[in-house]
Amino acid sequence: MNRETGNLEYVKRLNRVNVLNIIRENKSVSRQQLAKLTGLTPAAISGIVRELVAMGFIQETGLGKSSGGRRPVKLQFNPEAGYVVGAEITRKKTTMGIVDLQAKPVVVNEAQIDMTEPETGLATLAKEIEQLIRTTGIPEGKILAAGFAVPGLLDTRTKIVKRSPNLGEQWHNIPVQATLEKYFHVPLFVEHNSNAAALAEHTLGRGKNNHNLLYINLGEGFSAGIIMNGEIIYGYSGHAGEMGHLVIMEDGPLCNCGNRGCLESLYAVPAIVRKANNELYLCPDKDPLKQIWLEKGEVNIKDIMACVREAGSYAWQLIRQAGWYIGIGIACAINFYNPEAIYLGGILAGAKEVLMESLLESVYRHAFPAIARATRIEISDLGSDAAFYGACLGAIKQLFDVERAEILNR
């Protein structure tokens, strides 16, 4: 293929993706409107539309209003022309599912997968997703992409996880994308879990109208996905947002990062569970969490969250204390980034008002007052699936990227 032919093919693909994206982003649009929006000739638009209809990506949905002459035929994007699989990877539990091309869920499941051994864990994940696809009856050829959200220090260029203490000691320089490409023969998208969750919040959640927001995951670790001017902020080496490693207690507990007194080492889920099991012997026997501890010999985070609503109880005090120190970390983030809004997700966010009361008090105590009062801080309404949806959205966004034009490689 000579350069002129290659350039012509590139321009044609570019035009097709541009037209498809305009239709995708509008409820309905006519061929005449497409010609005006793109600057292409009506004949070129007709040819592109014919191709996209044949591929199943768009549908003719009826007639629009006429401004004189024949009524225009309306075109609409078909989100069921293809599907995307996605997963959020954590140490013991993986959220996985299938969505259509507008991120509407077809199925979302949880699977207990031990990810402490990377190769075995990722192979098991691939098998679980293959089984999930079979149960839906979706033809293999209709799976167009796959997205994965993973915790840890992810190299945004190579998609290698340099280190992930929350997944386990064996997660050193693990080529996540290259490993998953052995099992999935579609375009892959791999993202840090908090960045994926921030993308979901910005696209599907309460943050739709915020161009500058933080999504903070309060779970096995603490990290923030940062969106500024509508784009994810990665930082120099791709690791922006590791707020869990803000040192708030000199000579505090040893953190899995190697430092002492990190916020994460004190009040992330593993630290809270450890603290509860070490201190419950001091509580009155009538305390609801103490009763579970006496019965089972230990408690987990679900037990703590089940008891958190009882004012004055040990679980209530523990989560309020966590909220206070998390608030210090959020205050620092507010001073640094001055976001419009901050959305909180992860397991601890399920404590809602018990967590929020002390957290907000701490934020307003420690942040620059004028900036803090202008920042909306809320619990995300996406629940525990935010990173999963963000992984799927990232894969969809990549599919429809004008430069890549991967959506046309079917």
Identify the residue with better confidence: 149 or 250: 149
Give the Cα separation of 181 and 126 in Å (integer).
10
CA 277 to chain centre: 31
Whether 141 shows a pLDDT value over 60: the answer reads yes
pLDDT at 64: 59
Whether 70 shows a pLDDT value over 80: the answer reads no
| Strands, sheet with 73-77, edge to edge from the N-terminal-most edge strand | 29-30, 73-77, 58-63
Whether 260 shows a pLDDT value over 50: the answer reads yes
Give the Cα separation of 166 and 115 in Å (integer).
10
Residues whose CB is less than 8 angstroms from the CB of residue 99 and which lie 6 or more positions away in sequence, other chains included:
83, 84, 86, 105, 106, 389, 392, 396
pLDDT at 402: 78
Identify the residue with better confidence: 148 or 407: 148
Does the pTM exceed 0.75? yes
Q: What is the mean pLDDT of the segment spanning 155-175?
A: 94
Mean pLDDT rounded to a whole number for the chain: 93
β-bridge pairing 153-154 and 83-89: unpaired
Whether 41 shows a pLDDT value over 70: the answer reads yes
Give the Cα separation of 198 and 397 in Å (integer).
14
Give the Cα separation of 162 and 173 in Å (integer).
4
Residues listed for the chain: 410
Residue 68's pLDDT band, with cuts at 50, 70 and 90, is low
Residues whose CB is less than 8 angstroms from the CB of residue 339 and which lie 6 or more positions away in sequence, other chains included:
210, 212, 213, 214, 226, 228, 333, 375
Question: CATH number of the domain at 3-77, please?
Answer: 1.10.10.10
Whether 283 shows a pLDDT value over 80: the answer reads yes
Q: What is the mean pLDDT of the segment spanning 233-239?
A: 92
pLDDT at 66: 59
pLDDT at 11: 86
pLDDT at 9: 81
Residue 27's pLDDT band, with cuts at 50, 70 and 90, is confident
Sequence spans of domains, the chain: 3-77, 83-199+387-408, 210-380
Stated as kind and residue range, the H or E segment containing 4 is: helix 3-25
Q: What is the mean pLDDT of the segment spanning 121-131?
A: 97
Q: Are 313 and 288 in contact (CB under 8 A)?
A: yes
Give the CB-side neighbour count of residue 321, counting CA atoms within 13 A: 14
Share of the chain above pLDDT 90, in %: 87
Residues whose CB is less than 8 angstroms from the CB of residue 199 and which lie 6 or more positions away in sequence, other chains included:
191, 225, 227, 232, 390, 393, 394
What are 389-401's pLDDT values in tens digits?
999 999 999 999 9
φ, ψ (nearest 5 deg) of residue 115: -100, 10
Helix 288-296 vs helix 314-337: crossing angle, to nearest 10: 110
**Is domain 210-380 classified as CATH 3.30.420.40?**
yes
Give the Cα separation of 313 and 27 in Å (integer).
51
Q: What is the mean pLDDT of the segment spanning 208-220?
A: 95
Q: Decide whether 83-199+387-408 matches 210-380 in CATH topology.
A: yes
Q: Are 220 and 272 in contact (CB under 8 A)?
A: no
pLDDT at 1: 45
Whether 404 shows a pLDDT value over 80: the answer reads no
pLDDT at 8: 82
Q: What is the mean pLDDT of the segment spanning 184-211?
A: 96
Give the Cα separation of 31 and 74 in Å (integer).
8
What are 330-389's pLDDT values in tens digits?
999 999 999 999 999 999 999 999 999 999 999 999 999 999 999 999 999 998 899 999
Stated as kind and residue range, the H or E segment containing 175 is: strand 172-175
83-199+387-408: CATH homologous superfamily? ATPase, nucleotide binding domain (3.30.420.40)
Whether 278 shows a pLDDT value over 80: the answer reads yes
Question: What is the C-alpha end-to-end distance of the chain, expressed in Å?
Answer: 21
What are 75-118's pLDDT values in tens digits?
999 999 999 999 999 999 999 999 999 999 999 999 999 999 99
pLDDT at 72: 76
What are 292-316's pLDDT values in tens digits?
999 999 999 999 999 999 999 999 9
Give the Cα separation of 184 and 125 in Å (integer).
11
Q: Are 393 and 103 in contact (CB under 8 A)?
A: yes
Share of the chain above pLDDT 70, in %: 96
Q: Are 326 and 243 in contact (CB under 8 A)?
A: no
Q: What is the mean pLDDT of the segment spanning 50-60?
A: 94
Amino acid at 157: R
Give the Cα separation of 244 and 190 in Å (integer).
22
Q: Which residue has the tokens 């699936």?
A: 385
> Which tokens is 149 given?
């959200």
